[in-house]
Structure 1
Amino acid sequence: MPFLNPDLRHPIRLPDGTPYENTVWLRSVIDHPNIEVGDFTYYNDFDPVSDYAARIAPYLYPGAPEKLFLGKFGQFAHGVRFITDSANHAREWFTAYPFASFDADLMPHFATEYFENRRDTVIGHDAWIGHGAMILPGVTVGHGAIIGAGAVVAKNVPPYAVMAGNPARCVKMRFPPEVIDVLLALAWWDMAVDDIRALMPILTSADVDALKQVLAEKKSRS
């Protein structure tokens, strides 16, 4: 079996060889015009799921004015939810009630607020989002960020930040700035799968010098 087969629905195999059905590659189970999913991004759910798009992004309907972009190698735990911008109500008006949802003739009054100002939600590559975390409308989560269990993320998250709480705040950065710069320049998630596998001894270490050497070699080939 190839290293990281993107065509599988259930990528994890138990010791007896049977698939672990709680975990899926999201790209294999989501067919939604407003959701783009990168390869090898997985989601784990302990409850039965019939519609993964509706499970992770319950307010994002086909044809909505906003999109949800999920990068490659994402790691999303049970209960993660992306609350996209169509969930919002008009906050500046005298009523926040969505009358047009129940009477289409009123839609002209809602068109600008409801359809012209929607923001996309973007999750970077190699982001880990913990159990029950919630990403609010229009948020961008940077590459390599970690979102703690139960966190509610209302603002953009820098690459490789560790966020926790409600509202989520940055509790620390995973690495010093110079190491983050190397990781972002290396962009290992864009490499061929076989090249990524060859990098496992470095990606599964904290050897900064080796990481810098890989980046130098990549630059010399370009």
Structure 2
Amino acid sequence: MVDHRRVCFIKNFIKAPNIIVGDYSYYDDPVDPESFEKNVLYNYGSDRLMIGKFCAFATQVKFIMNGANHKLDGISTYPFPIFGHGWEAAIDQMMNLPNKGDIIIGNDVWIGYESLIMPGVKIGDGAIIAARSVVVKDIPPYSVAGGNPARPLKQRFSDTEIEQLLSIRWWDWDIAKITRNIDLIMGSDISLLQNAL
């Protein structure tokens, strides 16, 4: 029997208003699964982390928010004004820091151990991110991606099947319908799942 004390539904423990998590998405951590939010780094901007339903996040998956950005168009990237002592007079120089946008994680996404997701990235529905990947660009739906920087390694299904799965959107079904069709959702016959609509 698996020890499920190391997993929790993330939605139940999020406090930051800019972290939006869909139902049944979970975080796995053998030490402190309830503290998923500590893995959302530099979270003091206006950007959002949006996570779909039924996602699985392995231990130490991290998200870098836009608050980590530094000014790129000056001679120095050093944030002098945050240290005071007269340097705060140059605070206007820190305005308009680079902002790559929200991080958007689709539905039914699995992100492997110690992966790092950078600002502005979109990971499509049904994607899998290999352990210790650094995701700096969008990952298409139902693809397996990995590496540093992460890149798509293969598609999980054909283009036609991916279109079918994206139209079925089983994660939006009510929980009773999902429960009735668990075998089909966990199986590999997309036509049978299509018939369950």
- Give your verdict on TM over 0.5: yes
* Counterpart secondary structure, 2:104: strand
The aligned runs of 1:77-88 (5 Å cut-off) are 77-88=58-69
Matched residue, 1:34: 18
Q: CA RMSD in A?
A: 1.8
Matched residue, 1:57: 40
Match status 1:195 vs 2:177: yes
Matched residue, 2:82: 101
Q: After alignment, is 203-212 or 126-135 more displaced?
A: 203-212
Q: Which amino acid in the other structure matches residue 182 of structure 1?
A: Q
Identity of aligned residues (%): 36
**CA distance, structure 2, for counterparts of residue 75 and residue 168 of structure 1:** 18
* Counterpart secondary structure, 1:171: strand
* Counterpart secondary structure, 2:8: strand
Matched residue, 2:131: 149
More strand by share: 2
1:71·1:125 contact (CA, 8 Å) conserved in 2?
A: yes
**CA distance, structure 2, for counterparts of residue 65 and residue 99 of structure 1:** 22
Q: Which amino acid in the other structure matches residue 17 of structure 2?
A: P
* Counterpart secondary structure, 1:189: helix
**CA distance, structure 1, for counterparts of residue 81 and residue 46 of structure 2:** 16
Matched residue, 2:140: 158
- CA deviation vs aligned residue, 1:155-204 (integer Å, no higher than 9, x gap): 00110110011111111000001111111001111110011111112111
* Counterpart secondary structure, 1:36: strand
- CA deviation vs aligned residue, 1:51-93 (integer Å, no higher than 9, x gap): 4312x202113xx221111111110000100111111212232
Of the candidates 67, 89, 92, which is equivalent to residue 73 of structure 2? Answer: 92
Aligned residues: 194
Q: Which amino acid in the other structure matches residue 54 of structure 2?
A: F
* Counterpart secondary structure, 2:74: coil
Of the candidates 182, 191, 196, which is equivalent to residue 209 of structure 1? Answer: 191
Q: Which amino acid in the other structure matches residue 154 of structure 2?
A: K
Cα–Cα, structure 1 residues 49 and 191, in superposed 2: closer, same or farther, change >3 Å?
closer
* Counterpart secondary structure, 2:178: helix
**CA distance, structure 2, for counterparts of residue 208 and residue 49 of structure 1:** 33
Matched residue, 1:110: 94
Normalised TM-score (structure 1):
0.81
The aligned runs of 1:120-159 (5 Å cut-off) are 120-159=102-141
Cα–Cα, structure 1 residues 33 and 177, in superposed 2: closer, same or farther, change >3 Å?
same
* Counterpart secondary structure, 1:182: helix
**CA distance, structure 1, for counterparts of residue 9 and residue 89 of structure 2:** 41
